[in-house]
Amino acid sequence: MNIINNPNPNISRNKRTGKPIVRSIESIDRLVFHSMMEFLVEGEGLHATQFLEEEAGYSAHYLITPNGLIIKTVNIINIAWHAAGFNRTSIGIEWLVPGYATLSEFYKIIKTNWLSEAAYKAGIELIDDLKTECNFKHFNPHSFLSPERKQDPGDGFPLDEMLSVINS
């Protein structure tokens, strides 16, 4: 597995001490699937590169690039900010959609077959590895958890296929 570390400071912290909240591995029961892209239009969305910076106010535990590189941005024992209402008990993985687009183009692209073979395989390897530590009960696309606000990872993401491989 090809993993690099690029820590994202956007994690839940103890309000008094400022120290990152550490959760137990046992408390993690959900894996959330996301997709994101580099956006062309200022103000229309979040650049993938900004996603790794503090100002964006978001984070996930991993970002997988189209060439299959896994970027670990938050330790799984820490709480990332990727799925409102579910952050405390979940791990979030973002897959980076190739290319640049406006937000409205992004919504169209994620309905197509955009996931590269390398990113698909990297995802399965990563999840297989996480499953040795975490007892996931739920595997959810972000759009399932926030149907009003979110469309990612999109109808083009082969979630069923991936889950059948992961659970076999």
Residues that bind Zn ion (CB under 5 A): 34, 142, 152
Question: How far is C-alpha 75 from the chain's CA centre?
Answer: 13
Nearer to Zn ion, 18 or 70 (CB): 70
Beta-strand runs (E) in the chain: 3-5, 30-39, 62-64, 70-72, 90-101, 138-141
- Tokens representing 112 are 């197509």
Q: How far is the CB of 82 from Zn ion (least distance, A)?
A: 6
Q: In this structure, are strands 138-141 and 62-64 parallel, antiparallel, or unpaired?
A: unpaired
- Tokens representing 139 are 């595997």
Nearer to Zn ion, 22 or 108 (CB): 108
Q: How far is the CB of 72 from Zn ion (least distance, A)?
A: 17
Nearer to Zn ion, 34 or 78 (CB): 34
